[in-house]
Structure 1
Amino acid sequence: MKAQFKRLFGRLYARRAQLALAVRSTVAAASAFAIASALNLRLPLWAVLTSLIVTQGSVGRSLKATRDYMFGTIGGAIYGGAIAVLIQHSGELELLGLLVLTVAPLAFIASLNPSLNAAMVTGVIVLLVPVMSHIDPLASAIDRVGEVSVGAFVGLAVSFIVLPSRAHVQIRSAAGRLLELIAAAFTELLAGLSRGRDNDALHRIQDGIGTALVALNTTGAEAERERAARLSSGADTGPLLRTILRLRHDVVMIGRASVVPLPSELQMRLAAPLAKVSEAIAGYLRGCAQAMRAGTSPPPIWPIHTAVKAYAEQVALVRSEGLTRGMPGDAAERFFALGFSLEGMRQNLIDLERVVAEWADVPRPAKTASRSDHEETPDTAGA
Structure 2
Amino acid sequence: MASSGWIERIRGRIGARSAELKLALRVTIAGTLAYSVTKILDLPQGYWAVITAVVVMQASVGGSLKAAVERFSGTLTGAIYGGLVAAFVPHSSPLNLGFAMVVALFPLALLAAVKPAFRVAPITSLIMLLPPTGQAIGPLASAFDRVLEITLGNIVGVVVSVFILPARAHTLMTDAAAKVVSLNAELFSVFIEELTAGPQGRSALQKLHPQIRSALKKAEAAAEEATRERKSHLTEAPDPEPLIRTLYRVRHDLVMIGRAASTPLPAPVRDRLGHSLIALHETTRALLLDLAQALQHRKAPPDPYAFQEALNAFSGEAEAFRSEALMRELPGKTFGQVFALGFAFEQFRLDLSDLLLRTEDLTLERARRPAES
User: TM-score normalised to the size of structure 2?
Assistant: 0.92
For residue 273 of structure 1, what is the aligned residue in structure 2?
Answer: 276
For residue 248 of structure 1, what is the aligned residue in structure 2?
Answer: 251
Shift of 1:187: 1.1
For residue 70 of structure 2, what is the aligned residue in structure 1?
Answer: 68
Match for residue 34 of structure 1 among 33, 36, 51: 36
Q: Where do residues 80-91 of structure 1 align in structure 2 (5 Å cutoff)?
A: 80-91=82-93
Q: Where do residues 298-309 of structure 1 align in structure 2 (5 Å cutoff)?
A: 298-309=301-312
Q: Where do residues 94-109 of structure 1 align in structure 2 (5 Å cutoff)?
A: 94-109=96-111
Aligned residues of 1:202 and 1:255 also touching (Cα < 8 A):
no
For residue 314 of structure 1, what is the aligned residue in structure 2?
Answer: 317
Letter in 1 for 2:245: R
Q: Deviations over 1:38-89 (max 9, x none)?
A: 2222222211110001111111111111111100000001111111112123
Q: Where do residues 78-227 of structure 1 align in structure 2 (5 Å cutoff)?
A: 78-130=80-132, 134-194=136-196, 195-196=198-199, 202-227=205-230
For residue 333 of structure 1, what is the aligned residue in structure 2?
Answer: 336
For residue 371 of structure 1, what is the aligned residue in structure 2?
Answer: none
Whole-Å Cα distance in 1 between the matches of residues 338 and 204 of structure 2? 19
Whole-Å Cα distance in 1 between the matches of residues 14 and 358 of structure 2? 31
Whole-Å Cα distance in 1 between the matches of residues 353 and 210 of structure 2? 25
Aligned residues of 1:197 and 1:259 also touching (Cα < 8 A):
no
For residue 372 of structure 1, what is the aligned residue in structure 2?
Answer: none
Shift of 1:327: 4.0
Corresponding pairs, count: 363
Aligned residues of 2:185 and 2:288 also touching (Cα < 8 A):
yes
Q: Deviations over 1:209-242 (max 9, x none)?
A: 1111111011111111111111112222122112
For residue 285 of structure 1, what is the aligned residue in structure 2?
Answer: 288
Whole-Å Cα distance in 2 between the matches of residues 298 and 225 of structure 1? 26
Whole-Å Cα distance in 1 between the matches of residues 171 and 105 of structure 2? 40
Aligned residues of 2:174 and 2:219 also touching (Cα < 8 A):
no
Letter in 1 for 2:234: L
What stretches of structure 1 move > 6 A for 4+ residues in a row? 197-201
Q: Deviations over 1:170-206 (max 9, x none)?
A: 2221111111011111111121113037988655432
Whole-Å Cα distance in 1 between the matches of residues 201 and 306 of structure 2? 31
Whole-Å Cα distance in 2 between the matches of residues 84 and 200 of structure 1? 59
Shift of 1:161: 1.6
Q: Deviations over 1:102-143 (max 9, x none)?
A: 112211111111111110111011121248853311122112
Letter in 1 for 2:294: A
Consecutive unaligned residues in structure 1, runs of 5 or more: 364-383
Consecutive unaligned residues in structure 2, runs of 5 or more: 369-373
Match for residue 257 of structure 1 among 250, 257, 260: 260
Whole-Å Cα distance in 1 between the matches of residues 213 and 314 of structure 2? 29
Aligned residues of 1:197 and 1:260 also touching (Cα < 8 A):
no
Q: Deviations over 1:334-358 (max 9, x none)?
A: 3311110001111112112211111
Identity level (%):
38
Aligned residues of 1:246 and 1:348 also touching (Cα < 8 A):
yes
Aligned residues of 1:198 and 1:259 also touching (Cα < 8 A):
no
For residue 358 of structure 2, what is the aligned residue in structure 1?
Answer: 355
Letter in 2 for 1:276: A
> Whose helix fraction is larger, Structure 1's or Structure 2's?
2
Letter in 2 for 1:171: M
Letter in 1 for 2:157: G
